[in-house]
Amino acid sequence: MSDLLYSSVEEDLRAAVRAVLTDHCPPSAVLARCETPAPYDPRLWRTLARELGAAGLQIPEEHGGAGAGLRETAVVLEELGRAAAPTPYLGSAVLATTVLLGCGAADLLAPLAAGEQSAALAVPLTADPWADFPAGVRADAAGTLSGTVTSVPDLAGAATVLVPALGQDGPALYAVESTAAGLARTPRTSLDLTRPLADLTLHGAPARRLAGPDTAPGILRRALLTGAGLLASEQLGVAEWCLATTVDHLKQRHQFGRPVGSFQAVKHRLADLWLDIAGARAAARNAADALASGDDGPETVLAVAVAQAYCGDTAVRAAEECVQLHGGIGMTWEHPAHLYLKRAKADQLALGTPGRHRAALAGLADLPAPA
Amino acid sequence: MSAAVEVRERVRELLAAHDPATTDRLDFLRARFDAGLAWVHFPEGLGGLGAPRSLQAAVDAELAAAGAPDNNPRANGIGLGMAAPTILRYGTPEQQARFLRPLWTGEETWCQLFSEPGAGSDLAALGTRAVPDGDTWTVDGQKVWTSGAHTARWAILIARTDPGLPKHRGITYFICDMTDPGVEVRPLRQITGEAEFNEVFLSGVRIPDAHRLGEVGEGWRVAQTTLNNERVAIGGQRTPREGGMIGIVAATWRDRPELRTHDLHQRLLRGWLQAEVVRLTGERLRQQLALGQPGPEGAAMKLAFARLAQELSGLEVELLAEDGLGYGDWTMVRPDQVDFLGRDAGYRYLRAKGNSIEGGTSEILRNIIAERVLGLPAEPRTDKDVPWKDLAR
Ligand SMILES: Cc1cc2nc3c(=O)[nH]c(=O)nc-3n(C[C@H](O)[C@H](O)[C@H](O)COP(=O)(O)OP(=O)(O)OC[C@H]3O[C@@H](n4cnc5c(N)ncnc54)[C@H](O)[C@@H]3O)c2cc1C
């Protein structure tokens, strides 16, 4: 049975990340930044990635990383979710890093491990581990790439873009410098203000091939599986913030001569939400532990599908309850509840919807659909 | 020697000295108790070894593999899950020595005389009176919904000893002899057709003071230990993946493709997901308990368990289509054990309705989570500080 608790090392890491986020990333700062063209606070990212080494947690020490693992990475994501922090962590430290580890591209890992650069994986945020290898980008005989990929997360600030493309001999993974000729990035106006998306267009962009048809599909799938499984931890953090903030508010807020939180109709909703979040915590930890084992067998795939099917909906429900139970203030731009609602709703679609992951369970748990 | 090694050594010694194939069932169970292998986390001399609770599963598995008899825990759930931990916590050495061994072996089963017609969710309002007379107490009153009263040798009982105090303070906890001539047990037929529970009339029942558990007036506090353990006993069982209700539904789904519809498929996948997450939540709770950091998930597990059991058992009846219209047997029987999963789909559907009522209703459990876990303020109460005798009823 997997270890579903947090080790003391993990708790120390959590405390360190939380301290940084409390200092650099209060809700007011997140809100203010949403309305600037620079979606990320470079100082925050530098502190997290460089000083805490959070970006290189899953990178082995010989490549300059911390040589920790995905359980620790998941703890960072919980805290980033709790702060609705705008950082390229999911795109760079999870998705792109997992691809580079799979490709064994040591030279590209080093600047990520050191927190000097970030990278992006050129897939839509909605990509899921069960989909076919993407066909939107093609490599020609000279190895240059052409095509488009829409809604790519964390693309804007990335120094390197990792592109799944169909080469002459089949699926392959390429690295393209973000400054390369023929590469263009077009920001989208995204629902989630704290995780910007952009479209990638390639016109004969020079690229370096990292993996060919033998390994590229497996590497991409592992990255999407890792992303989906660890996103559950971010969703847990989002949900925990929403519940805690709502409970605090309802202890203070008086109507009808008593705290609103003393009304049973409200209490029972919060008790149910608490129970769902306890489930989300167990499921998210289980997925992180399974992924950390490095085994991609059916148990790991199942743990990811369970976690993502469950946590995606739980975070949305928590955020929706948070808005509703704050009343009018929950509808304001000024109160941070909407940041979490937007993050939760976008995360629900990210890396496979809950419905997609439940559908995967049909195969994984041998519960076949009607003929 | 590590605890795990010692426990394994004890199992080997027990099996060597008492070959399960040739030893009388009860002799074996008694020897197992005396070897400290009944519940390893209990103290030595009381059926345990003071070892971590987490080692129990391995002991059970090893003994079962060797063909050893078990103590038929389903026939004595209240004794094992509720009376025993309360006696361990509050009992005198004499009480512990007298009651725990036959309780564990199943020679003496137990029932719980808590609920009354006028005191269910508001258990502290109970009115059964216990009046002291020298070193015995005389008990008069009525209890209801008493599972297994018809087979029990002993009961855990709470009764009012001081009506002049506010309701939580005038209660005392006793061990009641179910063979006392003043105890009358009448079956109450349930929606399943059978009578698992009973009403129990207590008329001049005599209880020696030596069978009082905890101090006079401390009964409410003692009862909390019982109730907390009840919730863990009902919802906190370790189950493998697809253990319990989901396993039955999933097996039917696999065996009978002709029953499958798209709507049922969607709901089955949701149910399966829910069951797996509840299983993981329970597993996480047990890992916390093993590290001595009990989380508040305890009461919640029963809430989650009830919700799931009801959803899945309802789904099973629908899945069975025409077969779902049948029912095994409505004959009134008085079963000697509680079985949530036994018999047929219709029985499971009906029995699961009790899961959100027995051991504290789901509404009360939500109150507990909201107030004790989330720290939300209590609702205004008019009854708390009023002497019990002056309460409206
Ligand atoms: C199968 C079964 C076995 C049982 N076995 C035993 C046993 O062995 N021993 C024993 O002592 N008892 C036993 N019980 C009794 C059980 O503990 C009580 O039925 C339960 O505590 C509810 O009490 P009640 O029936 O009086 O319902 P009530 O307390 O009258 O509740 C009626 C409804 O009102 C709701 N309600 C009550 N108060 C509140 C509140 N403050 N806020 C919101 N909603 C509220 C309840 O949730 C319920 O839905 C058993 C019950 C069942 C169903």
- Whole-complex ipTM: 0.94
**Of the candidates B311, B318, B317, B309, which has an alpha carbon nearest to the alpha carbon of residue B341?**
B309
Each residue of B151-163: pLDDT tens digit? 999 999 999 999 9
Residue B133: DSSP 8-state = E
The pLDDT of B131-159, averaged and rounded, is 97
Q: Both tokens of residue B160?
A: 């009012």
Q: What's the one-letter identity of residue B11? A: V
- B48: three-class secondary structure by DSSP: strand
Q: Considering only CB atoms, which chain A residues are within 8 Å of B380?
A: 258, 262
pLDDT band at B291 (very low <50, low <70, confident <90, very high): low
The predicted pLDDT at position B236 comes to 66
Q: In CATH terms, are A8-118 and A137-213 the same topology? A: no
pLDDT in tens, A254-264: 999 999 999 99
Higher pLDDT among residues A41 and A124, named by residue: A124
Average pLDDT over residues B38-57: 92
> Would you kindly state where each structural domain of chain A is located, as residue ranges?
8-118, 137-213, 217-364
pLDDT at A169 over 80: yes
Contact B273 A309 (CB under 8 A): yes
Evaluate the CA torsion angle A320, A323, A328, A333 in order and state its sign.
negative
C-alpha angle A14-A324-A355 in degrees, rounded to nearest 5: 70
Place of tokens 């809604």: A151
What pLDDT was estimated at residue B54?
81
Average pLDDT over residues A315-335: 97
Torsion of CA B383, B384, B389, B392, to 10 degrees: 10
For B187, other C-beta atoms within 10 Å of its C-beta total 16
Task: Please give the residue of chain B at the shortest CA–CA distance from A244.
Answer: B374
Q: Could you give the CA distance from residue A352 to residue A356 in angstroms, rounded to a whole number?
A: 6
Band (A199; pLDDT cuts 50, 70, 90): very high
Taking the centre of ligand 1 as the mean of its atom positions, its distance from the CA of residue B106, in whole angstroms, is 27
Q: What are phi and psi of A36, to 5 degrees?
A: -110, 160
Q: How many CB pairs lie under 8 A apart between chains A and B?
A: 126
pLDDT grade for B39, boundaries at 50, 70 and 90: very high
A chain contacts of residue B284, beta-carbon cutoff 8 Å:
4-5, 278, 281-282, 285
Range of lowest pLDDT (B80-89, B100-109, B216-225, B336-345): B336-345
Candidate from B280, B371, B380 with C-beta closest to A286: B280
pLDDT digits (tens, 9 = 90+) for B197-242: 999 999 999 999 999 999 999 999 999 989 888 877 766 677 889 9
> Cα separations (Å) of B82 from B76, B113, B368?
10, 12, 19
First to last CA, chain A: 35
Residues of chain B found within 8 Å of residue A242, distances taken between Cβ atoms = none
SS3 (DSSP) at B199: strand
Half-sphere exposure of A52 (CA within 13 A, CB side): 23
B127 lines ligand 1 (CB under 6 A): no
Residue B107 has pLDDT above 70, yes or no: yes
pLDDT per residue over B83-97, tens digit each?
999 999 999 999 999
Q: Is the CB of B386 under 6 A from ligand 1?
A: no
Contact (Cβ atoms closer than 8 angstroms) between residue A209 and residue A176: no
* C-beta of B121 in contact with ligand 1 (< 6 A): yes
Whether B295 shows a pLDDT value over 60: the answer reads no
The pLDDT of A3-28, averaged and rounded, is 96
pLDDT of residue B296: 55
**Spatial separation of the C-alpha atoms in residues A227 and A137, rounded to whole Å:** 21
pLDDT at B288 over 90: no
User: What pTM does this model have?
Assistant: 0.94
The mean pLDDT of B356-382, rounded to a whole number, is: 93
Assess whether the C-beta atom of B361 lies below 6 angstroms from ligand 1: yes
Q: What is the mean pLDDT of residues A327-351?
A: 97
**Sequence-separated (6 or more) residues with CB below 8 Å from residue B376:** A247, A250, A251, A259, A261, A262, A266, A267, A270, B370
Q: How many Å lie between the alpha carbon of A137 and the closest alpha carbon of chain B? A: 35
- pLDDT, residue A224, reads 98
Q: Which residue type occupies B283?
A: E
Q: Is residue B342's pLDDT more than 90?
A: no
* Cβ partners under 8 Å of residue B155, min gap 6: B110, B111, B112, B113, B146, B149, B175, B176, B178, B200
Distance CA B329, CA B317 (A): 16
pLDDT in tens, A104-140: 999 999 999 999 999 999 999 999 999 999 999 999 9
3-class DSSP string for chain A: CCCCCCCHHHHHHHHHHHHHHHHHCCHHHHHHHHCCCCCCCHHHHHHHHHHCCHHHCCCCHHHCCCCCCHHHHHHHHHHHHHCCCCCCHHHHHHHHHHHHHHHCCHHHHHHHHCCCCCEEECCCCCCCCCCCCCCCEEECCCCEEEEEEEEEECCCCCCEEEEEEEECCEEEEEEEECCCCCEEEEECCCCCCCCCEEEEEEEEEECEEEECCCCHHHHHHHHHHHHHHHHHHHHHHHHHHHHHHHHHHHHHCEECCEEHHHCHHHHHHHHHHHHHHHHHHHHHHHHHHHHHCCCCCHHHHHHHHHHHHHHHHHHHHHHHHHHHHCHHHHHCCCCCHHHHHHHHHHHHHCCCCHHHHHHHHHHHCCCCCCC
Token pair 């019982």 in the structure block, residue? B226
Q: Does the beta-carbon distance from B367 to A271 stay under 8 Å?
A: yes
Residue B117 Cβ contacting ligand 1 at under 6 Å: no
The pLDDT assigned to A104 comes to 95
CATH of domain A8-118: 1.10.540.10
Q: How far apart are CA B63 and CA B19, in angstroms?
A: 11
Average pLDDT over residues B38-54: 93
Gyration radius of chain A over CA positions: 20
Interface probe with B: pick from A7, A242, A248, A274, most Cβ of B within 10 Å: A274
B interface with A, Cβ–Cβ below 8 Å:
250, 253-254, 257, 260-262, 265-266, 268-270, 272-273, 276-278, 280-281, 283-284, 287-288, 291, 297, 300, 303-304, 363, 365-367, 369-371, 373-380
CB-neighbour burial class of residue A42 (10 A; exposed 0-12, middle 13-18, buried 19+): exposed
How far, in whole angstroms, is CA B385 from its chain's centroid?
31
Average pLDDT, chain A: 96
**Residue range B341-364: mean pLDDT, rounded:** 94
Does B59 have pLDDT greater than 90?
yes
- Please return the burial class of B5, using the count of CB atoms within 10 Å of its CB with bins 0-12, 13-18 and 19+: exposed
What would the mean pLDDT of A193-215 be, rounded to a whole number? 97
User: CATH number of the domain at A137-213, out of 2.40.110.10, 2.30.40.10, 3.40.640.10, 3.20.20.70?
Assistant: 2.40.110.10
pLDDT at A292 over 70: yes
Q: Which residues of B are catalytic?
A: 230
Pair type for strands B154-160 and B110-113: parallel
**Local structure of B42: helix, strand or coil:** coil
User: Which among A109, A196, A194 has a CA at the least distance from the CA of A160?
Assistant: A109
Binding-site residues on chain A for chain B (CB distance < 8 A): 1, 3-5, 243, 247, 250-251, 258-259, 261-264, 266-268, 270-272, 274-275, 278-283, 285-286, 306, 309-310, 358-359, 361-362, 365-371
pLDDT at B339: 85
Confidence band (pLDDT; 50, 70, 90) for A79? Answer: very high
Q: Say which residues have a Cβ less than 8 Å from residue A345's Cβ, sequence separation at least 6.
A: A191, A192, A316, A319
Q: Which residues of A touch B253 (CB under 8 A)?
A: 367
Q: pLDDT value at position B57? A: 87
State residue A39's pLDDT score. 78
**Mean pLDDT score of chain B, rounded to an integer?**
94
Which top CATH class is A217-364? Answer: mainly alpha
Domain B223-373 of CATH type 1.20.140.10: yes
